[in-house]
Amino acid sequence: MKLLRVGPPGQEVPALLDSAGQLRDLSAHVADIAGAALTPAGLAAIAALDHAALPILPAGRIGPCVGQVGKFLCIGLNYADHAAESNMPIPSEPIIFGKATSAICGPNDDVLIPRGATKTDWEVELGIVIGKGGSYIPQAEALDAVAGYCVINDVSERAFQIERGGQWIKGKSADTFGPTGPWLVTKDEIDDPQNLSMWLEVDGHRYQNGSTRTMIFGVAHLVSYVSQFMSLQPGDIISTGTPPGVGMGLKPPVYLKGAEVIRLGIEGLGVQQQTVGHA
């Protein structure tokens, strides 16, 4: 299934994209694409509905595909070639940092460069949405904890991230720095999350062209690993790192200045498009 949320910010309606590409209203059956709706039982209940009988929703703004996110976690330097372009060593264990949940926005909402920013950058990433959750999840059972996957643009202000005391969360958490969606694609539709092509373009120039094949730590490893340090709950998101081609790694570096159009996508998970503005 492809689950999404449609409507103005803060007023999104839970929806399903049917096999014909029609938006179907789920609001009579679930309050939101969040929490209990993302558990195995919740997803099974949505799957059991007669999708063709659900009311059709008119096209409109697509919001972030998950609501009420409790934790927005990210994995740093999870592609060896991205670590190299960042002049950082390949990590021996996953690097975990957070983005503020207030950074989350719709996949096609404007990205706003924050005040005082000078090095705003892009990162196409595979997002894991937790469905079952728990603590100390064995790696062999980790995929059972996954509700599905989505596209994330881990927008980053490198000066805040690297030059302002070394705390990554400061460079990752500005409003609009977490475009998420367009859809949450349930895991049954993804044969292998470690074999998905991914790309990102700015003003039509393709900067990132990679695959989840080259992750250092795969989805199952990451879910299990993160759960050793904190419990995971339904609707938590783990953004799994980016392949090479970020602006910081180019020679010379290229950063967003405003008015650019960013397009990015992951095989089977849809496409995002953002126009860059200023806060």
Residue ranges of the domains in the chain? 2-53, 72-278
Q: Answer whether residue 85 shows pLDDT above 80.
A: no
Cβ burial of 211 (10 Å; 0-12, 13-18, 19+) is middle
Q: Answer whether residue 5 shows pLDDT above 90.
A: yes
Residues 16, 50: contact at Cβ < 8 Å?
A: no
Q: Which amino acid is at 117?
A: A
**pTM for the full model?**
0.97
CATH architecture label of 72-278? Alpha-Beta Complex (3.90)
Average pLDDT, stretch 141-162?
97
Query: What pLDDT was estimated at residue 216?
Result: 96
Residues 100, 169: contact at Cβ < 8 Å?
A: yes
Residues 160, 117: contact at Cβ < 8 Å?
A: yes
Q: Answer whether residue 86 shows pLDDT above 80.
A: no
Query: What pLDDT was estimated at residue 76?
Result: 92
Query: What pLDDT was estimated at residue 136?
Result: 98
pLDDT of 12-55, one tens digit each?
A: 999 999 999 999 999 999 999 999 999 999 999 999 999 999 99
Residues 62, 106: contact at Cβ < 8 Å?
A: yes
What is the three-class DSSP state of 83?
helix
